Structure 1
Amino acid sequence: MTVAQQRIGRIQWGDLQFGPGSRYHVTAIDGLDDLPDIRSEDTERPGQNGDYTGPDYTGPRTIQLGLGLRADSPDELRDLVIALRAATQPQRQPAAVQLLDQDTLVYGKIRRRNIPYDAEYLWSTGTAALEWYCADPYLYGLTEYSASTTAYSPAAGRTYPMVYPRAYGAAGQSGRISAFNGGASPAYPLLRLDGPVANPSIEQVNTGSGLTIDASLGEGEWLIIDTRTRAVLLNGSSPRRSWVRAGAQWPLLQPGANEIAYRGSALPGSPGQPSLLTLTWRDTSL
């Protein structure tokens, strides 16, 4: 009987690749499939047994990687050590750790690096250990999905005065996007709105959550909305968080099928220029 084996496979970190086909053999990995520490919102029940339990959230994820360095000479081994050291410097921002054969991506910062010196084995082999701190604990799919729609516009209705045969205006446009999250956790989509449009609104039809922008975008202007960080950037750089109408429930993509509705009003003088919503996301799990 053949027993299936789980293999880590290739891991891409910057310009370095670990695993099969490289000089850096993966010997161990910890923290990838583990559930990060839970940050609960439980409170004691005064005068009673037990707690009032609230929602559970997770803390950051820590991933530890063990490597075996394999070279053909001491000089080549030294080159491997220097390249690994150069690739694991302190970082200002997290970067992508890609597990290419597991269709998994995490964002982390190098927090520990250990490359021991062992004179008995250093002729052509060595070991190393790395640790990534992932403030964002989610596991993402490698594939980034994207879909777009124009804003909903109502049907034009009847034409008056009425003549026979009767003439009707064009049917309304749906202004909807179907998005599938193949993971087990809600995904935080990135939203881009391209003008011209006034007071655009985005609704997650499945859950009823959504947000409205109390502003107008002219032709050639766009707005980036990051639902995870809650950043709202005009033309990708100028903060406009205050444009989000109070009481917004930021839309998330639940596991499985999702439907997003996009509505907005045309600006005076540009009724024939449609606004565009572009939705970008990855499958997401914990």
Structure 2
Amino acid sequence: MAQQALGTVQWGDLTFGPGTPYAVTALEGLDDLPEIRAEDVDRPGQHGDYTGPDWTGARVITMRLGLHTDSPDQLRDLSLALRAATQPQAQPAPLQFLQQGTLVWAKVRKRSIPYDAEYLWSIGDAALEFYCADPYLYGLEEQSASTTTYSPSVGRTYPMVHPRSYGTAGQSGRLTAANKGASPAFPVLRIDGPVASPAIEQVTTGGILTLDATLQAGEYLTIDTRSRAVLLMGTSPRRSWVRAGSAWPVLCPGVNELAYRGNALPGAPGQSSLLTVTWRDTSL
């Protein structure tokens, strides 16, 4: 359960917070709303604006640390470990607030580890700035639900070809996904064949994602609804399979229902395709 005290923070192999030599003395930007990119325009000849949708920019989190140890040499070791863990990055990495139940994807953009000869005996301080191009706050737990394609009869048991956990199976052709955050969540969809022309409907809000695709048994397709990447076997781009006019499903705050439909392949009697939906609770 989330608590008011910040608790433990995990960055790579380093842990900050209670019980560690890195005390978190201040934190800004985690619960703040990132800067808004407004789409407002002036009302010609009138007071006020025409207002459009508000979008947020990147999230910036600043963290101040107090370093505590028993000797100057150990203090130097803490500084070197912190320096090694905060190198420039090619890709964002998870910054996890464990007791808060929150994760952000971040890069270190600034690091300050000052030297003060008057005080550097067994205590010191440091400051870090984390840049989050993706401003969303995610739940630590990755959730998953799955269902076979719709059938007018009772759903079948899908043969597990690969060692993979699919979560709790839903009613044949239907599943529910609960987003406990305050913002829409962008799920990752996985479709396992055999199936032709698979379609995923966001029943709660409307809109259908339809694919002009045929997957054989043992083939699968992954769909990232945030980046809108469509990958066959997790690597080969197949964005062109998305039928024009399709809607990319998102999970609104609360309980969402999704429906999965597809056509059986000739020569594959008794086999059902499987849809797996994976997401995290999402907020801004």
In the superposition, the TM-score normalised over structure 2's length comes to: 0.91
Structure-1 separation of matches of 2:218 and 2:228 = 23
Secondary structure of the 2:84 match is helix
Gaps of 5+ in 1: 157-172
- 1:247 is matched with which residue? 245
Instruction: For 1:113, give the aligned amino acid.
Output: R
1:152 to 118, 140, 150: 150
Structure-1 separation of matches of 2:133 and 2:182 = 19
How many angstroms does 1:73 deviate by? 1.0
- 1:264 is matched with which residue? 262
1:13 to 11, 14, 17: 11
Secondary structure of the 2:82 match is helix
For the pair shown, which has the larger CA radius of gyration, 1 or 2?
Answer: 1
Structure-1 separation of matches of 2:150 and 2:115 = 65
- 1:178 is matched with which residue? 176
- 2:205 is matched with which residue? 207
User: Which stretch shifts more, 53-62 or 39-48?
Assistant: 39-48
Structure-2 separation of matches of 1:138 and 1:255 = 14
Instruction: For 1:52, give the aligned amino acid.
Output: Y
Instruction: For 2:46, give the aligned amino acid.
Output: Q
- 2:215 is matched with which residue? 217
Structure-2 separation of matches of 1:43 and 1:242 = 36
Structure-2 separation of matches of 1:144 and 1:101 = 16
How many angstroms does 1:51 deviate by? 1.7
How many angstroms does 1:210 deviate by? 2.5
Structure-2 separation of matches of 1:72 and 1:177 = 55
2:131 to 123, 133, 137: 133
How many angstroms does 1:71 deviate by? 0.9
Residue pairs, 1:158-169, within 5 angstroms? none
How many angstroms does 1:150 deviate by? 0.3
- 1:167 is matched with which residue? none
For the aligned residue pairs, the C-alpha RMSD in angstroms reads 1.3
Instruction: For 1:255, give the aligned amino acid.
Output: P
- 2:55 is matched with which residue? 57
Q: Does 1:72 align with 2:73?
A: no
Structure-2 separation of matches of 1:10 and 1:240 = 41
Instruction: For 1:143, give the aligned amino acid.
Output: E
In the superposition, the TM-score normalised over structure 1's length comes to: 0.91
| CA displacement 1:158-201 (0-9 Å, x = unmatched) | xxxxxxxxxxxxxxx63111111111111111100000100100
User: Which stretch shifts more, 263-272 or 81-90?
Assistant: 263-272
- 1:81 is matched with which residue? 79
Structure-1 separation of matches of 2:4 and 2:144 = 30
Total equivalences in the alignment: 266
| CA displacement 1:52-86 (0-9 Å, x = unmatched) | 21111111100000000001111111110111000
**Identity, % of aligned positions:** 71
Structure-1 separation of matches of 2:271 and 2:33 = 48
2:189 to 168, 184, 191: 191
Instruction: For 1:112, give the aligned amino acid.
Output: K
How many angstroms does 1:155 deviate by? 4.2
- 1:168 is matched with which residue? none
- 2:231 is matched with which residue? 233
Structure-2 separation of matches of 1:138 and 1:210 = 25
Q: Does 1:114 align with 2:106?
A: no
Structure-2 separation of matches of 1:155 and 1:89 = 56
How many angstroms does 1:46 deviate by? 2.5
Residue pairs, 1:38-57, within 5 angstroms? 38-57=36-55
